[in-house]
Amino acid sequence: MDRTQSLSLRRMRMVIAAMALIWAGRLAWVQVIARDHYLNPTNIDYSPRTILPAAKGELHDRNGKVLARCVDSASVVANPQLIADPAQVAGRLASIIDEPVDTLIRLLSKRYRRVLLRANVPDDVVATLRGLVDKGIVTLGQATAEPAWTITARPREVKATPEQRQDLAVLLGLPVTELDATLAQPATALRLAELADAATAEQVARMNLDGIKAEKTASAPSRAAYLEPVAAAFELKLADGETVRQPVIRPEVWAALAPLWRGVKAPAADELARRLKVHYVALRRQLPVALGDALRAQIDAEHIPGVRVDREMAREYPQGGLARTMLGKVDREERGTGGLEQALNQRLTGTSGWMEVTVDGRGRPILQERAERHEPVHGRNIELTVDATIQSYAEEAVRNAVSDFDADWGLAVVADPFTGEILAMADVSNAKRGIDDMWRSLSLAYEPGSVMKPIVVASALQTGSTSPDESFYCPGTMRVGGRLLTCIKHHGAETVHGAVRDSCNMVMLQLSQRLGQERLEPMFRSFGLFERSGLALVSQEAKGGIYCGNAAGRWGVQKTATVSYGKGVQVSAVAMLRGYSAIINGGTLPNMHLIRRLVDQQGRVVAESPTSGGRHLLGPDAAAAVRHMMRDVIADPKGTGHDAVSRLYNLAGKTGTSVAYGTGDKRIVSMAGYGPYEQPRLVTLVSVCEPRVGNRWGGGTCGGAMRSILERSLQYMGVPALAGSSEDQKKDKQQ
């Protein structure tokens, strides 16, 4: 082979090699880089995923009456980006949806919003943003993260029955099969749930399962930076191929933001700018479906751009305003934002499922292909211990007391003293005085005043420190630790029994000095006054306490004296009612219950709260003696609670007057009581804050409300009234 032939052969080989490389590159492009395009040139999702929404659970009273549920509704919404003239659209829309023109203009003009730039901004970066902050382009927010809990498991140590696993799955919002599969993993430790709320963590802890633990995550202050939708922050420009101007962050602003990304990945400037745009505003929400359909037809007929009618779920409260403070409310995404809706949100809210089915090029399902489906886990229906009828009686009585005595607010709690079941929690605020609604019966700890005295006497009797007939002397005033302490009157000679009936501070003071902190404080704690009551509502329930001016927690002589009649101590209404229940039921401190049971969407009971148990802290003789004293508080004409005497039932109770910490030293008057005296069925506590007219003491302000709640509730429950009471009622009606 000559030189010319050899050169030609090499050239041919090079050409073949180049063509092979081109073919290989093309093959790689087709099979790797552009694979999806050639397999699916129409961009059809051949396995589209359809979300299967979970139904939110309902709240029921103990008799099955629906207190809260989700229903279909309609909303009129708009996309401000599609509305060129907000004033013109608002004018056309106002008469259709019955909203003021000014309100619609404001909503339709809201095209841009503030955007979160970064959370947890380091302190050294804040100074570099000062120029942008001064111009109003960037704002800084200070916030403290809410405490959260992580539920962890050590699979090898977990010992739980199938029923316990089912209960745990419900608490965590997981299908039990998924929980079982997770716990079957060969891992030393794993996380079952993160960012769990306090109520869930407490319930998990109360299950006391080996290998399962709820750990609180630390919360720390965080500083966030936001980009404000002001003209100095961005401008509007037309991009290539677009007909609508898009927001573009000004170059000088973007450059000034550079230090903010120190230590984190900077977002894309165009993506950040797009997030400024508002694409959704609600003009009217939670309309009946039929009205929504009619409005949709009108809007379509008028050809109003950017406005539509959406279908959505709305939370409905069929009993109107009944128990609304306790029930709370939900936001647009159906997340609880207050009351039981918030505290029980995780159990009420289910987990959405999904379904995937293979489709052809036209998007039609291919029947021969297998569909994959994960069923949603629907939220649980929760049956409360509350009785809607008794709740209505309690609310009416408290509302009348707040109105009649021109008070700031009032509350009432009604419970079964044997089971600890809460039958009513009424909270009423005086709107005329600008007082906000609040779940005070659970979330406020306040000075109980003299309603504390039966617990002090029970403690003294239980420890053998006194007897009902022991006599003391009440001079009306006593100097203790350099301070003059007073009683409501000069009682003179007074027995322990008489001291409860007459609400004598001086006898209580002498008893507490005899007991001392060493015996009195442990008894207070054994009565559960400074702990949560077992309602599993940690995020809502207040804890009381005795606050001292020293780190050692030692009481001075004045503190020892005043706590005996409920001063210098804080207790929630539920905790006080729990302590009274121990006296009424013979000495056992019950766990309080507001949740009776959890029921799935098919009506099957998932979990049920036990109503037995509780620690025993009083002997029957001590409890019976204190009950007799409380009977005379009402039955004896000299008793401070005689205003609560009933013609229908023998009632017993105790009055109290105090001030509350953190409320501007306002007077809070209370009366706790139960009935019937012979065979107790119900116990209640009524408190009213700052009565301005009439009798401003516990018996005068709260006695009538307490009597009304007990009388009406006991009649409703079918408890026989006293003999001859029906004739008295007839005479009253005739008069």
- For 283-321, write each residue's pLDDT tens digit: 998 888 899 899 989 888 888 888 989 887 788 999 999
Of residues 167 and 251, more confidently modeled: 251
pLDDT category at 656 given cuts 50, 70, 90 is: very high
Residue 662 pLDDT class (50, 70, 90 cuts): very low
Lowest mean pLDDT among 364-368, 526-530, 544-548: 364-368
Number of neighbouring beta carbons within 10 Å of residue 620 = 9
CA 23 to chain centre: 65
How would residue 30 be classed by pLDDT, with cut points 50, 70 and 90? low
- CA dist 566 and 413 (Å) reads 19
Domain over 146-219 is classified CATH 3.10.450.710 = no
Tens digits of per-residue pLDDT, 336-384?
Answer: 888 999 888 888 987 777 777 766 655 566 665 566 777 888 888 999 9
Residues of the chain with CATH 3.90.1310.10: 146-219
Q: Which of 52-66, 541-555, 624-638 tops mean pLDDT?
A: 624-638
| Alpha carbon distance 400, 608 (integer Å) | 36
Residue 563 has pLDDT above 60, yes or no: yes
CB atoms within 10 A of CB 578: 29
Write the burial class of residue 271 (CB in 10 Å: 0-12 exposed, 13-18 middle, 19+ buried): exposed
Structure confidence at residue 663 (pLDDT): 45
**Domain span(s) for CATH 3.40.710.10 in the chain:** 388-734
Question: What is the reported pLDDT for 43?
Answer: 47
Q: Under 8 Å CB-to-CB from 430, ≥6 apart: which residues? A: 402, 403, 406, 407, 408, 409
Q: In terms of pLDDT, which residue wins out, 515 or 179?
A: 515
pLDDT of residue 692: 92
Token pair belonging to 112:
């841009």
Mean pLDDT of 34-52: 55
pLDDT, position 733: 46
Rounded-to-integer distance, Cα 119 and Cα 222, Å: 7
Cβ atoms within 10 Å, residue 709: 29
Is 8 a residue whose pLDDT tops 60? yes
Q: What is residue 197's predicted lDDT score, i.e. its pLDDT?
A: 65
% of the chain with per-residue pLDDT over 70: 86
* pLDDT tens digits, one per residue of 121-171: 888 888 888 899 999 999 988 654 556 678 888 888 888 888 788 768 766
**Range of weakest confidence among 3-12, 52-61, 505-514:** 3-12
Confidence at residue 239, expressed as pLDDT on a 0 to 100 scale: 63
Query: What is the mean predicted confidence (pLDDT) over 34-46?
Result: 51
Predicted confidence (pLDDT) at residue 607 exceeds the cutoff of 50: yes
**Nearest-angstrom CA–CA distance, 138 and 225:** 7
Has residue 39 got a pLDDT over 60? no
Cis peptide before 676 (omega within 30 of 0): yes
Q: What is the mean pLDDT of the chain?
A: 85
Note the pLDDT of residue 564: 92
CATH 3.40.50.970 fits 388-734, yes or no: no
| Degrees to nearest 5, angle at CA 551 with 548 and 553 | 45
More confident residue, 34 or 730: 34
pTM of the model: 0.72
Distance of CA 396 to CAs 11, 323, 389, 412, Å?
A: 103, 11, 11, 10
Q: Of the ranges 381-385, 515-519, 571-575, 665-669, which one carries the lowest mean pLDDT score?
A: 665-669
Q: Is the pLDDT of residue 237 over 60?
A: yes
pLDDT band at 695 (very low <50, low <70, confident <90, very high): confident
Tell me which DSSP letter residue 146 carries: P
Report the pLDDT value the prediction gives residue 420, as an integer from 0 to 100: 94
Q: For residue 472, what pLDDT is reported?
A: 95
Average the pLDDT over each of 330-334, 365-369, 395-399, 432-436 and give the range with the smallest value.
365-369
Higher per-residue confidence, 374 vs 434: 434
Distance CA 199, CA 173 (A): 13
CA atoms of 234 and 181, how far apart (whole Å):
51
